[in-house]
Amino acid sequence: MDREIDRRIGAAAAVMRSMYRSVVVKKELSRKAKLSIYQSIYAPTLTYGHELWVMTKRVRSRIQAAEMSFLRRVAGRSLRDRVRSSVTREELGVELLLLHIERGQLRWLGHLFRMPPGRLPGEVFRACPTGKRPWGRPRTCWRDYVFRLAWERLGIPPEELEEVAREREVWASLLRLLPPRSGSG
């Protein structure tokens, strides 16, 4: 999974390099235009396939660093200016990308719970793999991660999660109201 996230960060960096002189630091282009490019090109490139990522602290930090690299340049700042990321994000009116990722992961969980039997993604989600695991601490599997995410962010215990997620309107309204994490930004 780390290789996939490295690939996404690399692809986003390539997008930024290709647009750097022509878009990102161009004085003639408005902030609104630069932010629409961020929303339509950079962020989707960075977060492609994010629904199945297990977000460790390291991954969260790297995603946030890649996001802020672009946003700081749009705002005309550098790291040397020592301005907090939350201030830059608030000034630009941009939602935290990690919040977008968590919302997408929980949205996908809802789809999996509502998926009819026989659909491959649902079957893989419900499967219990057998066999030996490698030595050391077990890797966090996506299912455990997303159940913990729903418990921490929505306050829904794992036992009630499927019941709540099956109600599409209720689930969608919970995701719309998902607040940012405290201390992030």
Domain annotation covers residue 40: yes
Per-position DSSP letters for 85-152, written without gaps between them? HHHHHHHHT---HHHHHHHHHHHHHHHHHHSPTT-HHHHHHH----SPPPSSSPPPPHHHHHHHHHHH
The C-alpha angle with vertex 44 and arms to 25 and 153, in degrees rounded to 5, equals 115
- The predicted pLDDT at position 126 comes to 81
Q: Are residues 78 and 44 in the same domain?
A: yes
Domain annotation covers residue 81: yes
Q: Are residues 123 and 72 in the same domain?
A: no
**Distances in whole angstroms, Cα of residue 113 to Cα of each of 20, 34, 152, 163:** 42, 38, 19, 9
Domain annotation covers residue 54: yes
Domain annotation covers residue 183: no
Q: Are residues 89 and 8 in the same domain?
A: yes
- The predicted pLDDT at position 2 comes to 84
Do 157 and 81 meet the contact criterion of CB atoms below 8 Å apart? no
HSE-up (13 A, CA, CB side) for residue 3: 0
Domain count, the chain: 2
Domain annotation covers residue 185: no
What pLDDT, in 10s, does the model give residues 80-89? 999 999 999 9
Q: Are residues 6 and 84 in the same domain?
A: yes
Mean predicted lDDT score pLDDT of the chain: 91
HSE-up (13 A, CA, CB side) for residue 90: 8
The pTM assigned to this predicted structure is 0.89
Task: Give the Cβ contact number of residue 116 at 10 Å.
Answer: 6
Q: How confident is the model at residue 183 (pLDDT cuts 50, 70, 90)?
A: low
- The predicted pLDDT at position 185 comes to 58
**Distances in whole angstroms, Cα of residue 160 to Cα of each of 74, 148, 151:** 43, 13, 10
Of 75, 94, 113, the last residue of a domain is: 94
